[in-house]
């Protein structure tokens, strides 16, 4: 399922127009991204948790040339599925 298909599903299940469903889906995604950008975790009961992890700067290797390169420090979003989510998938 991609974003367009998700929007259509939200519209159908909640009797919304595509425009309204797009606004809802975008609002949810933006809320999650804004919280993670502010280093605040997002916990959705029964679905999972979104957090942000810091990755320190490190050395890596360019596989094409074999040269050592510097990889900058970064923050990476992480999702951990809730037990109910895992149980439904399995």
Is 53 within a domain? Answer: yes
| CATH number for 79 | 4.10.520.10
SS3 assignment, position 77? strand
pLDDT for the residue numbered 21? 97
Is 19 within a domain? Answer: yes
CA–CA dist 20, 11 (Å, integer): 8
Count of structural domains within the chain = 1
For 26-85, how does the pLDDT look when each residue is reduced to its tens digit (9 = 90+)?
999 999 999 999 999 999 999 999 999 999 999 999 999 999 999 999 999 999 999 999
Contacts 24+ apart (CB under 8 A), 49-54: 49/79, 49/80, 49/82, 50/77, 50/78, 50/79, 51/77, 51/78, 51/80, 52/76, 52/77, 52/78, 53/78
Q: Taking Cα atoms as reference points, which of 73, 77, 87 lies closest to residue 34?
A: 77
Is 88 within a domain? Answer: no
Is 69 within a domain? Answer: yes
């Amino acid at each position: 399922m991609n974003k367009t298909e998700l929007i259509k599903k939200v519209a159908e299940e909640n009797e919304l127009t595509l425009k309204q469903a797009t606004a809802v889906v975008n609002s949810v995604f933006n809320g999650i991204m804004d919280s993670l950008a502010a280093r605040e975790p997002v916990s959705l009961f029964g679905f999972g948790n979104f957090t942000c992890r810091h990755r320190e700067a490190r050395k890596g290797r360019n596989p094409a040339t074999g040269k050592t390169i510097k990889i900058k420090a970064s923050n990476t979003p992480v999702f951990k599925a809730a037990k109910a989510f895992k149980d439904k998938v399995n």
